[in-house]
Chain A
Amino acid sequence: MSDNTNLLTREQIAACAARDMEDGWLVNLGIGMPTLIPTYIPKGRDVLFHSENGLIGMGPPPTPEEYDQDLISAGKGAVTIVPGGAYVHHADSFAVARGGRLDCAVLGAFQVAENGDLCNWRLPTQKSGSVGGAMDIAAGSKRVFAMMTHTTREGEPKIVRERTYPLTALGVVKRIYTDMAVISVTADGLVLEQIAPGLTPDEVQAATGAPLDMSRVATIEIAA
């Protein structure tokens, strides 16, 4: 798949997910690709970001003058706090996550099953992994969006009928954003909502390990 020039870039995938972040939401972003999302939140929309290390209202990286060694994100990069933000300790931060106060969590994934099972903390070949807050956030968030490449580097589908990777949380993923498509997870199965310009629904289906409802697919609008 890697030579397919119609695949979306990481930034374009982030822009797709950003458009679906609703006004007033509190959102947790997993490390990696999801951290690109804040740049693409449509203007005028008030979306607050939760960083599980104790920050509600995470802002962009600091200028040199704003830098503070005591203000970091869950990915351990230097960040800022937005006006009206709050610091909390870890037990409260995870009360926010488990207690259903996160409107959305956008998390990276190794594998997503058609029933919404999320696998993102350990590869089957590894004897152990770095779970961090993934299991708490995935289990407690009102909705989990997965953000990932559509296939593995070897071209194997990462969206599958039944998971074969170690589980992070059961049945939590509601939508999947990939370099090929946006897919919703519903009680009736996977629905192909949007595809990258230049791709056909059949191409996306061929790269997907579970059947897709292709009856209402739209083309992803790419910002100039």
Chain B
Amino acid sequence: MKNKKADTLEAAVAAVRDGDIVLVGGFGATGVPEKLIDGVCDRGLRDLTVVTNNAGTGRSGIARLMDEGCVGKLVCSFPWAKESFVFKELYDAGRIDLEIVPQGTIAERMRAAGAGLGGFLTPTAVGTDLAEGKPVHTIDGKDYVLELPMRGNIALCKAYKVDPRGNLVFHKTARNFNPVMAMAADHTIVEVQEEVGLGDLDPEIIVTPGVFVDTYYTTGFYEIGKDTR
């Protein structure tokens, strides 16, 4: 069996390179792989394009990644929020680029990439600024915008439990983008609260099969949103 387990944080994030497109799970501060992000920060990587829903919360997690100068561009749906002050400072200083994508479109673009599709047609954003320049197709009298797949070089995800094959289950709304991001990257790295033995996860409840997971790292439970620097 392929060994997907990383024994150290350093080993877990070793595959990330300067300039990579990195899909980062989470919604607000929930389901964000904060430990993996800390590992990327410690490597001092540069010019990452980060795809994630929010523009960071407080000073930990995605906010830390931006604060330490690792991120050249952010692709997200909800950049402007009072808790995303680190992003705003960088944006106002012209030190980070921004692309806004509707939340469901971000999710589906990644799902499409993971599913091997060349894109999809969505009713979302028809006639709006966010559909500018995108082809519109009319199907049965209804207009749809053509959206293209969004693939990452890396996905950084957070899950609840993992088994040695990398099968994952999630915890409550910390699931959010993590399963679709795990599908959509060339190399998917997952931090998990707990590792269980082979056969200990009921196959009926596995959300993400291990085929989508390349590396996992066990963190144990931790309180989210704490600045650990």
Q: Are B79 and A70 in contact (CB under 8 A)?
A: no
Q: Are B30 and A72 in contact (CB under 8 A)?
A: yes
Q: Are B128 and A167 in contact (CB under 8 A)?
A: yes
Contact of A90 among B80, B100, B103 (CB under 8 A): B103
Chain B residues with Cβ below 8 Å from A128 are: 79-80, 98, 100
Q: Are A54 and B103 in contact (CB under 8 A)?
A: no
Q: Quick one: CB contact mask for B3-30 with A, threshold 8 Å, 1 for yes?
A: 0000000000000000000000001111
Q: Are B126 and A94 in contact (CB under 8 A)?
A: no
Contact of B176 among A90, A98, A122, A166 (CB under 8 A): A90
Q: Does B217 contact A (CB under 8 A)?
A: no
Distance in angstroms from A215 CB to nearest chain B CB is 32
Q: Are B176 and A131 in contact (CB under 8 A)?
A: no
Pick out which of these stretches binds chain B: A132-140, A176-184, A206-214. Answer: A132-140
CA distance A136 to B106 in the complex (A): 11
Q: Does A130 contact B (CB under 8 A)?
A: yes
Q: Quick one: CB contact mask for A43-67 with B, threshold 8 Å, 1 for yes?
A: 0000000011111000000000000
Q: Does A69 contact B (CB under 8 A)?
A: yes
Q: Are A87 and B175 in contact (CB under 8 A)?
A: yes
B residues 121-172 in Cβ contact with A at 8 Å: 122-130, 170-172
CA distance A135 to B147 in the complex (A): 14
Q: Number of residues in A with C-beta < 8 Å to the partner?
A: 40
**Size class of B's contact patch?**
35 or more
Distance in angstroms from A134 CB to nearest chain B CB is 8
Q: Are A130 and B102 in contact (CB under 8 A)?
A: no
CA distance A168 to B131 in the complex (A): 11
Q: Does B174 contact A (CB under 8 A)?
A: yes
Q: Are B111 and A87 in contact (CB under 8 A)?
A: no
Q: B: which residues have CB within 8 A of A?
A: 27-31, 77-81, 98, 100-108, 110-111, 122-130, 170-180, 207, 223-224
Known: A91-B110, A167-B127. 20 other contacts (CB 8 A): A54-B173, A69-B30, A70-B171, A71-B30, A71-B173, A87-B172, A89-B176, A89-B180, A90-B106, A90-B180, A91-B180, A93-B107, A128-B80, A131-B102, A133-B77, A133-B104, A135-B130, A136-B104, A139-B123, A139-B125
Top 7 closest A-B pairs, CB basis? A94-B104, A136-B104, A90-B107, A133-B103, A70-B174, A76-B28, A89-B179
